A = this chain, B = another copy of it.
Amino acid sequence: MSITRRTFTTGAMVAGAALAQAGAVAATPPRTRRISVEECFSTKEIDAARAKLGGYSIQAPQANRERLHVRLEDIGAGRIAQMDADGVAVQILSLCAPGVQDFPADRARGLATDANDQMVEAIRRHPTRYAGLATLVPQDVAFSVAEIVRAKALGLNGTIINSHTNGEYLDDPKFWPIFEALEAHDLPLYIHPREPSPQMAGPLKVPGFAVGWGYAVETGTHVIRMLGSGMFDRFREVQIVIGHMGEGVVFYLPRIDNRYTFEMDLSGRPRLARMPGEYFRDHFHVTTSGMNYWPQLRMSIDVIGIDRLMFAADYPMEVEGDAVAAIDAAPMTASAKAKLYHGNAERVFRIQTG
């Protein structure tokens, strides 16, 4: 018995590339409006700078890495040809994990500004096909606040942080000016996974399971720390988006509430003002990135409701066409599918309705 294996080198990309060659990029938009909200790009400048740092956390032979980076660095016609082939109307772009969070602050500022500028230029060239999330620099909170102001002025749709920064998490009050700025400028924050912080990385170093398990543990733990900090009593409006069907938190949400009550009763410690699940349901949205599975999607709809779920393909790390095919086949009502595919993204990320 063997499970069918798809790799990033094969599949639907061929069809997209062929369309691009044929000059078919400006084809009519797909009839089902699909907005995919966690779609990854990189810049030549960041890839070059990171190569000097020792490369990405997943070591790869140069040829494999380059094949992937051709797609990552394309936020022009080639990517749009792929979107046309896959039936995706809009990609919300964001800089690949770990963003610029592994660079010293001075280098990170320059790289982030440049990446955000390149992304804005791509959106200007293709305003009906691309939207974008501004990369922040948590190692420089004041700069991040200024970049939030600039992102709003530039018409960007939100911001992104890739989990921990130098082992520190956003429940630390030193980062809270970022949330003040997000609320003031009405922009959501996407918390994207990255490799676990040094304080928990040891047992999670299992070759082949870094992303499928380690990234979720890291990012889910980040969410738990935020829920447990009480920060949502202070930031009552801020909206966070997380991927991969909730980084495990949605699955465990009712148990988290149950055990929270048990632990607090047992220890007699003061409680948060509200239950963890209440904070989560008021402040978090969840995307399907890399989790195109109806059983998990149906469970998530049951736990947090369709209004808090959005479609994402995680291009080019996943096969975008597979994500579309899986969600197209999900036995949802037309109304629920419209919310998942575009309605919720239009609301949360302020994207014009198509």
Cα–Cα distance between A75 and B354 once the two chains are bound (Å): 64
Q: Is the CB of A61 within 8 A of B8?
A: no
A residues 284-302 touching B (CB-CB < 8 Å): 290-291, 293-296, 298-299, 302
Q: Which residues of chain B are near A9, meaning CB under 8 Å? A: 265
How near does chain B come to A227, taking the closest CB pair, in angstroms?
A: 8
Q: Is the CB of B213 within 8 A of A266?
A: no
Instruction: Give which listed residue, B5, B208, B263, B267, contacts A269 with CB less than 8 A.
Output: B208
Q: Assembly of this chain: how many copies?
A: 2
Say whether A210 faces chain B, with CB atoms less than 8 Å apart: yes
Q: Is the CB of A217 within 8 A of B221?
A: yes
Q: Is the CB of B265 within 8 A of A213?
A: no
Say whether A333 faces chain B, with CB atoms less than 8 Å apart: no
Cα–Cα distance between A221 and B196 once the two chains are bound (Å): 12
Q: Is the CB of B1 within 8 A of A278?
A: yes
How near does chain B come to A327, taking the closest CB pair, in angstroms?
A: 14
How near does chain B come to A269, taking the closest CB pair, in angstroms?
A: 6
Instruction: Give which listed residue, B7, B261, B267, contacts A262 with CB less than 8 A.
Output: B7
Q: Is the CB of B266 within 8 A of A58?
A: yes
Instruction: Give which listed residue, B220, B269, B295, contacts A303 with CB less than 8 A.
Output: B295
Q: Is the CB of B60 within 8 A of A211?
A: no
Say whether A341 faces chain B, with CB atoms less than 8 Å apart: no
Say whether A331 faces chain B, with CB atoms less than 8 Å apart: no
Say whether A54 faces chain B, with CB atoms less than 8 Å apart: no
Interface centre among A169, A207, A221, A259 (most CB of B within 10 A): A259
> Interface residues of A toward B: which range?
35 or more
Q: Is the CB of B299 within 8 A of A295?
A: yes
A residues 199-240 touching B (CB-CB < 8 Å): 199-204, 206-213, 216-217, 220-221, 224-225, 227-228
Q: Which residues of chain B are near A256, meaning CB under 8 Å? A: 209, 212-213
Say whether A258 faces chain B, with CB atoms less than 8 Å apart: yes
Given A65-B266, A295-B298: A169 touches B7 (CB 8 Å cut-off): no
Q: Is the CB of B206 within 8 A of A228?
A: yes
Tell me the nearest residue of chain B to A256, going by C-beta.
Answer: B212
Given A265-B8, A268-B61: A251 touches B296 (CB 8 Å cut-off): yes
Q: Is the CB of B260 within 8 A of A64?
A: no
Closest 9 CB pairs of A and B: A212-B259, A295-B302, A199-B202, A200-B200, A212-B256, A206-B228, A299-B299, A211-B259, A295-B299
Show the binding face of A for B, using Cβ within 8 Å. Answer: 1-3, 5-9, 58-61, 64-65, 68, 164, 169, 196-197, 199-204, 206-213, 216-217, 220-221, 224-225, 227-228, 244-245, 248-249, 251-252, 254-269, 271-272, 274-278, 290-291, 293-296, 298-299, 302-303, 317-318
6 contacts between A and B (CB under 8 A): A208-B228, A211-B262, A212-B260, A213-B224, A213-B252, A255-B293
